[in-house]
Structure 1
Amino acid sequence: MNDRKGLDDSGRPIVAELGRAETPQETADRKAAATVAHRSNQTVLNLVIALAASLLVVFVIVVVVVRPDQAGAPKAVDYAAVARDAQPSVSTPLLVPTLPKGWSANRAELVDAASSSDGIASWQIGLLTPSTQYIGLVQGLDANASWIASQLHDKKATGQTSFDGSRWQVYDHRADSNPGNLAYALVTTVGASTVVLAGTASDSEFATLATEITKELNG
């Protein structure tokens, strides 16, 4: 018997446990098992490659597609610039309050009478306060009592206050169930301008804004 390289004289592999050459069936079984093992290893390898490719795609999306400026806070709106562009279309001066550092706007637009549901033009600014609360400023042009009621969803006035000598109606509904952005509101009318301030900010932040608006209206 030639046992070179574990083969018999016929060149068949010798099964060590049996001390003889493997039978044709054993050879076929061994090759079939090797094929199955190879295919199994290939399947695992393919899964690893697919997973790695998926992770690479996610990495590209996060690093390349989602840029820092997109992930951050929304860009502040320059309401003064919007007002300058809109002013030629109306005769009433649009309010552009000068506010301390920490205030910003997330929207500003002039809604013309033809586009509004009540036929009254209005200048609107959405303001974010230093405490991250919200105050909506709406300046109605030649507005009326019905317009005010619509802006405040028919809520009732709860008192009065003054800022820089001008009187404002107070609508304090913070105790209501889910008052939203009408939790607190201030309303005043000077000339052709009726101003509604409504939102979730503190009394002091409302006072800061109302005082600046009063100066503009009486300036």
Structure 2
Amino acid sequence: MSNVQNSSETPKPVITEKQARRINAPARNMVISMLVMIAILIPILLLVPRLTSNQNMYNPQVDVPAIAYQSTQEAGYPVAAPTPDNWTYNFARWNSNQPDKIDFWNSGVVSPDQQYVELTQAGDTNPSWVAQKTNNSAITGEAEVAGITWETREGTEKDENTKREKTVTYYVGEVGSTTVILSSESGAEPIEQWAQQVVDYSKSPSHTAEPTPSNTSGIQ
């Protein structure tokens, strides 16, 4: 009886070691290929937020002379809007109807070596306003740039793209009758370069005369 049962069982295939390696080779190659692709993609994915950041994107629609002229009329003082060669604007605007009654001029520029600097300018400011615009960053000292003593600050913020903490440097100075705040994630060098441009421009502002009509108002 038991012999009949044994004879009905399906015999298990037996393969050699060489055959087993041949069978497993495609799966092993697929795993290796996936690991190589992941190794290539990880650095690219890490760079994507920096490449797509709106900070370093040049916006050709920013009509700086027109916006500066309109903003100057609103502000009652010549807003800082230098336009040196090789520096590009990605935004410029006048921010009105602020809850604290301190309206301000705001712009973002990219240096020739692709470093981003943001400018905030207002008249009749106070320490609370400065603290707010610098995200309550700690005062770190002073710097002499373009004949002006700038208060330096440094703080951390969360990057909107990477969600990681980033270090931001601030320079706060009195330019004419206004308070100017310059900030950058790239440290002091691009800030000081732009500070020089801002101070030089303030001595002879060129965008206060009515420019060619433009559809770009930049007033918010």
Task: Name the SS of the counterpart of 2:119 in structure 1.
Answer: strand
Instruction: Kindly indicate whether residue 154 of structure 2 is the aligned counterpart of residue 172 of structure 1.
Output: yes
Match 2:181 to one of 161, 175, 196: 196
**1:89 and 1:123 mapped to 2: Cα distance?**
10
Query: Per-residue CA shift, 1:169-216, capped at 9, x if unaligned?
Result: 111347999554x61111102343000011223433211110121223
**1:110 and 1:218 mapped to 2: Cα distance?**
21
Q: Structure 2: which amino acid aligns with 1:94? A: V
Classify 1:194/1:107 alpha carbon distance in 2 versus 1 (closer, same or farther; 3 Å).
same
Q: Structure 2: which amino acid aligns with 1:183? A: V
Query: Hey, what does 1:155 align to over in structure 2?
Result: 137
Which is greater in Rg?
Answer: 1
Task: Name the SS of the counterpart of 1:157 in structure 2.
Answer: strand
> Relative contact order (C-alpha < 8 Å, sep 6+): which is higher?
2
TM-score computed with the length of structure 2 as normaliser: 0.57
User: Which ranges of structure 1 fall in alignment gaps of 5 or more residues?
Assistant: 1-71
For the aligned residue pairs, the C-alpha RMSD in angstroms reads: 2.7
Give how far 1:145 is off: 0.8
Conservation of the 8 A alpha-carbon contact between 2:137 and 2:154: no
Classify 1:173/1:86 alpha carbon distance in 2 versus 1 (closer, same or farther; 3 Å).
closer
TM-score computed with the length of structure 1 as normaliser: 0.58
**1:125 and 1:97 mapped to 2: Cα distance?**
11
Percent identity between matched residues is 24
Give how far 1:122 is off: 0.3
Classify 1:73/1:120 alpha carbon distance in 2 versus 1 (closer, same or farther; 3 Å).
closer
Conservation of the 8 A alpha-carbon contact between 2:64 and 2:81: yes
Give how far 1:75 is off: 2.7
Task: Name the SS of the counterpart of 1:158 in structure 2.
Answer: strand
User: Which ranges of structure 2 fall in alignment gaps of 5 or more residues?
Assistant: 1-56, 205-220
The count of corresponding residues between Structure 1 and Structure 2 is 144
Match 1:139 to one of 107, 111, 121: 121
**2:177 and 2:76 mapped to 1: Cα distance?**
10
**1:117 and 1:215 mapped to 2: Cα distance?**
32
